[in-house]
Every structure is written in C-alpha cells, then in structure tokens.
Amino acid sequence: MSSALGLTLLAFWRTRYRAKRLSTRAALLDWQARQIRRFLRHIAPQAEAFKNLSNLPLKDFPVMDKSVLMDAFERYNRAGISSEEAWVAFDGSGRIERYSVGASTGTSGNRGLYIIDDAERYVWLGTLLAKALPDMLSARYRVAVMLPRSSRLYDAANESGRLALKFFDLTDGLEAQFNAVRAFRPNVLVAPPHALVALSKADLDITPRQIFSGAEVLDPSDRAAIKARYRVTVREIYMATEGLFGVACPHGTLHLCEDCVAFEWEPAGGLAAPLVTDFTRRTQMMIRYRMNDLLRLSDEPCPCGSPLQAVAEIAGRTDDMFCLPGANGRTIQVTPDVIRNAVVGASRDIADFRVVQSSDDAVRLILPPASAHALSPAAAALDALFRKLGARPDIELLTENLSAPRGGKLRRVIRERGAIT
C-alpha cells in the first residue's frame, strides 16, 4: 500500500470512527477540548508566534486575521517560510521541499497564502471523503472539480488510488469546459453555484449521483434550479484557504467540522462570524483566526443525528455587509442575506442580480436586460428594507448583461472599497 493511500485511509477511518463514537454534543465537546489542550501545548509552540503561549488556554490566545498572518507569515508556520519565499514557490512549482504552497482567489482584496505538507494533504482528503463520500471504499467515483484554480490538495485524490478526479479550470471560461466535462462522465460534481447552474442550463448528457456546491454563497434559487435539473440534493462544502470547515450530510444540512476545528463566534448584524482554530494542522498554525464569513446557525436537530453544529445558511461575507449612514451619526449595518432576500422576493423573474454599495450613501441595483421590468419592484423592496432599518441611500437602477466570473467568485451583494466602514 502506498503511503498516500495509507494516510488517506487512516484519516478516513478515524473520521468515520469519531462520527460513531462521539454521538452526543457533550461527548464531542469534551473530546474537542482535550484535543485543543494537547495541540496548544505541544504543536502550536513549534511556530514562532506561539512559542511562549503553551500554558495559556485558547481564550487567552490573540485573535489573528489575514493581515496579521501575511505581515509575518514566517512566524505562523513551523518551517519558518516567509511570504516572499512562498510567493516565489506559488508562481513556480508550487513546492518548497516537502511543502505545498497555495493561495486564495483574492475575492475580498489581498490574496492569502497557505502551506501544507504532504501528510496533511492526505489527512485532509481522507477527512473530506469520510464526510462527503463515506461509501467510497465500495463505490467508484468519477469526480469533476470545477474551480478557478487547482491545488495540490486535489492532486492528493488521484494519488490515493481510490478516485478518478479531474480538475476543470474556470479561468479558461465555463463554456469552454462543457465538452470536456461531458467526455469525463462524472458521477460527482464539485463546483461553485454559478457553474452548477450553467451546467444545468447547458443540459449536458451527464448523470451525477452527488452534487457539491462550494466557494460561493448558495442562493436558494440556485439550489432549486440545480436540484430541479439533476434530481439530486445539493450539498455544500464550506472550505477556504484557511481550511475545511463544514460538509453537508446526505439530508443537505451543512455541519461544521468540529472534529477538526474549534469555532468561536462573534455577533455580526444578527448573524455570527467565526474565529477558527484548526487543531489538526501541523505546518501552518491557524489559531483564533477571524474569518470574514457570515453564518446563520441552526438550533434544529438534523435527521442524520450528527452532534456537529448545523448551519442554516452561509449568508455572505463581513466585508460585503452594507454600512449605511443613519440618523444621529449612526451606521446601519445590513447583511448580504437580507439584501438578497429583498431583491429576489420582489419578483419571480429575477434569477440574477447585483446590488453594490458604491459609496457612503449610494447603492446600485443591476438586473440583466431580460429582467428590466423587475427593476421597479426590486428597487421598491430595497428602499423599504433600508427605510425600515433607518437608512435612506440613493438607489441607482441599471440593466447590464451579468456574466459569470472568470478566475474569481460570484458575488451578488458587494460593498466596494471606499464605501463607509
């Protein structure tokens, strides 16, 4: 057995075993607390930034974010690799000795780096497979991954010998991949929602048994369109440069990966923004890392019985939360999900749109020409929403052809830089 397959299968079985053994919320959290204590005491101090903090509880560790990480990248990985060295490797082979280097798409601004060693790649793969495709040992899967750029993480799947995985680069254009996807005959699709919708409309002769959405917010209308075409429950994978954070169960409920990552929550306009601590990583330390995602957590028990925290919705990003001036100098915060719901609720004819806060007190509403007749009701819905919350921005109405992004993520609610913060 190759080391790649061995490490993948070991992580697979450990994840499946934990799912059976940690069957209650109390048992899960007790086990998680022990793992965190061990990680903070023995692993975290191997990175320069945490070498003098081994005796502290998690709550006393400093909060970090992308700017903190990138300003002193070498202090947060145990190999002492600087951001300059990592960028050179990323633009070349993607390797520094036994380490793989990757980067985010930069949708929210500056791009972030990550470093992972070969063993971690296979652990990541085994964990993901155990949650997404738990029958992979008895079934044969052909997985089509459609994303803006590839990663050494995906190479690990083919190296494991258990999957046939093919990567389709969306930077080459979505339509350019259609014939290749058809020829590959995937029975599993992994792609952003906009790509899955485009595949549905193209009516390719493919019959996926599993569909996973990731990298973007999955709007309810997109979920419904994809399900209607393929008659398959659309499952989300919540993953970022910073790690694997959640995988939806077969019922379609997104569950956080609390068997790998500890989550703390900061309130954000009625939603929750996570601080994440990945206690399984051994190369690059992510401890109390502030994500810019906005989540709506669920208290409803899932039929699958998992004790892992359920997520009702990934609502958007904190940096796309509108900040509008209100009375008496107040700033009114409006989360992307509320804006999105107002627009799509105004007319059934709205399948795509953009709402952009372009300056302190100006918002653009953009619909495609085919939906121009819905501009007035959509604008009225937005105006009513903003007035209810105590804001009265100017709303500019536009029609434009709205195309899928090439090399980035689709964002329908956007706060442009320069708008009030």
pTM for this prediction: 0.87
pLDDT computed for residue 387 by the predictor: 92
Q: Helix (H, G, I), strand (E, B), or coil: what is residue 248?
A: strand
Instruction: Please identify every stretch of the chain with a pLDDT value under 70, giving residue numbers as ranges.
Output: 1-2, 105-110, 149-162, 405-408, 417-421
Domain 3-318: CATH superfamily is ANL, N-terminal domain (3.40.50.12780)
Contacts within 8 Å (CB) and 24+ apart, 23-32: 23/305, 23/307, 24/307, 25/307, 27/307, 28/258, 28/259, 28/307, 28/308, 29/258, 31/259, 32/258, 32/259, 32/262, 32/279
Task: Give tens-digit pLDDT for 372-385.
Answer: 999 999 999 999 99
Q: Is the dihedral of CA 81, 286, 417, 174 positive or negative?
A: positive
Whether CATH 3.30.2010 fits 321-415: no
| H-helix or E-strand spanning residue 31 | helix 25-38
pLDDT computed for residue 273 by the predictor: 93
pLDDT computed for residue 420 by the predictor: 53
Q: In the chain, where are the structural domains located?
A: 3-318, 321-415
pLDDT computed for residue 77 by the predictor: 95
Find, among 317, 340, 326, 328, the residue nearest to 420 by Cα. 326
